[in-house]
Amino acid sequence: MGSISLTALRSNLFKIVDEIIKTGNPVEIERNGHRLKIILEEKRSKLDNLKPHDCIVGDPNDLIQITVGEWGEPTKL
């Protein structure tokens, strides 16, 4: 979310706190040349922020039947 002023924090306090809880990203507040951070105390895994993607083109069940010969590798190793 980045750095915000104390006035912006005051007007959107619940929305900002909910966003910190949801994403785990800290928010910096500037006040009279000083910077403060609101952070989530519990550590979240970075893997929790990953979104699923469809990476397989075609039928995933076809991957089960692949043999070494289909990859074009030499038969004599």
What domains does the chain contain, in order, with CATH numbers?
Answer: 2-71 (3.40.1620.10)
Q: Which residue has the higher pLDDT, 5 or 43?
A: 5
pLDDT at res. 17:
92
* Alpha carbon 43 to chain centroid, angstroms: 13
Q: Which amino acid is at 44?
A: R
Q: What is the pLDDT of residues 29-76, one digit of tens each?
A: 988 888 999 998 877 788 887 888 878 787 878 777 766 665 556 665
The pair of structure tokens assigned to 50 is 């990953």
